[in-house]
Structure 1
Amino acid sequence: MIDMHGAELDELIAAEKKQVAFEYHNEAWADGICDGIEAEILAETAISTALTELVRRHGESEVLQLLDTLRQRIVEGEFLPDRNLQ
């Protein structure tokens, strides 16, 4: 039997939820592409939907901080499709 502390279990559950959410998004993306919706439209809509929900739940200030973090991650190349993981 695996003995996990509450925080470890919470992290494991969160990671599993993120993986499932990723799979849902990939399915929706593929369906949209198959229906002839351009990737740029899907991406902008996904970002707008996500930002609207985040602002509703956490407020503008927190979301602006998140966007600053995301901007830095973009600058660092984290989202490049051909980035080199070392």
Structure 2
Amino acid sequence: MEYSVSEIDALVREEKRLTAVESHNEAWAEGLSAGIEPEIIAEAALETAFGEILRANGEIATLALLDRMREKVIAGAFEPEMLRH
């Protein structure tokens, strides 16, 4: 079976996403093991992520991502039964 360039790109992106989720989960577990509250871990992760996006892509892209994340929260995308890993 042959894949198109866009299909290969999508597969690579999904593999990277899964690897990132795994790395993040390990860091989260380490923080919890160190006695850090989940809210503090989450805030630090968000600050780091948005700082990197702002640095790499600018304010408009960062605010657009914030808007998309807000809509996902409203839609319930982050409810435990909706998360995909």
Same fold (TM over 0.5): yes
Cα separation, 2, equivalents of 1:24 and 1:30: 10
CA RMSD of aligned residues (A): 0.9
Q: Which runs of 4+ in 1 moved over 6 A?
A: none
Q: What is the match of residue 18 of structure 2? A: 19
Q: Using CA pairs under 8 Å that are at least 6 residues apart, name the structure with larger relative contact order, 1 or 2.
A: 2
Q: What is the match of residue 39 of structure 1? A: 38
Secondary structure of 1:4's match?
coil
Cα separation, 2, equivalents of 1:81 and 1:15: 20
- Count of aligned pairs between the two proteins: 82
For structure 1, which runs of at least 5 residues remain unmatched after alignment? none
% identical aligned pairs: 44
> TM (normalized to structure 1)?
0.91
Q: What is the match of residue 74 of structure 2? A: 75
